[in-house]
Chains A and B, each alone.
Chain A
Amino acid sequence: GDSVTQMEGPVTLSEEAFLTINCTYTATGYPSLFWYVQYPGEGLQLLLKATKADDKGSNKGFEATYRKETTSFHLEKGSVQVSDSAVYFCALSDQAGGYNKLIFGAGTRLAVHP
């Protein structure tokens, strides 16, 4: 079945460092891809999405490009802030049966220090 694999955390960075969180997927068909973020004590929030190959999703300085040839959707940010400390989830939409459900990766915890 469809699946998502993320790099293991935690990722620990200093403020203003460059961030990359790797995500690869396995899917039949052409899923949409998502990054969700979970801040401490909160539910998940959609960060960005891409619906087809070569699309780039971006939001709040984060970017990810849908790479069909490498089945990847890596999350990047040029300069992280302490407020970016959270758990980041890569996800794909499973459209089997015509109904969408999201399949999530295990999550990657990011800790940013001043």
Chain B
Amino acid sequence: DSGVTQTPKHLITATGQRVTLRCSPRSGDLSVYWYQQSLDQGLQFLIQYYNGEERAKGNILERFSAQQFPDLHSELNLSSLELGDSALYFCASSATIHTGELFFGEGSRLTVL
């Protein structure tokens, strides 16, 4: 158990819909990362937050947004969903921003029909 909690574990929705994925980092970790894992693209970095502020952005689509709240949990919002958004979305956390030692949750599997 990594200590990172993600909900929901599975989500099935239709094209055009909007979903929210939630992540609670390990106790004490200030940095949260979101990654997308798909068969054709592999593991892609989406966005990073540190103590409530956005710190780094990767290949995140404009239809996607995220935020980190004062209690340090984070949400990833995916809107106007397309079939190609079907993937496993991982949240990871770390104690600081200066480390590559990340602790990953078990992921949220999104299926868009």
Contact = CB atoms under 8 A, between A and B. Distances in A.
Interface of A: 32, 34, 36, 41-46, 49, 89, 91-93, 95, 97-107
A24 to B, nearest CB: 16
Interface string B98-113: 1111111111000000
Most B CB within 10 A of own CB, among A45, A46, A100, A105: A100
Nearest to B50: A99
Contacts of B101: 34, 46, 49
Given A92-B100, A101-B45, 7 more contacts: A41-B106, A44-B92, A44-B102, A89-B43, A95-B98, A99-B56, A102-B102
B4 A43 contact: yes
Contacts of B106: 41-43
Nearest to B102: A102
Nearest to B98: A100
Nearest to B106: A43
A102 B45 contact: yes
A36 to B, nearest CB: 8
Contacts of B33: 101-102
B28 interface: no
A30 to B, nearest CB: 13
16 contacts: A34-B100, A43-B4, A43-B90, A43-B104, A43-B107, A44-B102, A44-B104, A45-B104, A49-B100, A89-B43, A91-B100, A99-B48, A100-B94, A100-B97, A100-B100, A104-B43
A55 to B, nearest CB: 13
Contacts of B45: 101-104
B42 A107 contact: yes
A48 B97 CA distance: 19
Q: What are the 4 tightest A-B residue pairs by CB atom distance, in nearest-first order?
A: A43-B104, A93-B100, A104-B43, A44-B104
Contacts of A100: 94, 97-100
Given A101-B58, A107-B43, A46 B102 contact: yes
Interface in B46-72: 48, 50, 55-56, 58
Contacts of B94: 100
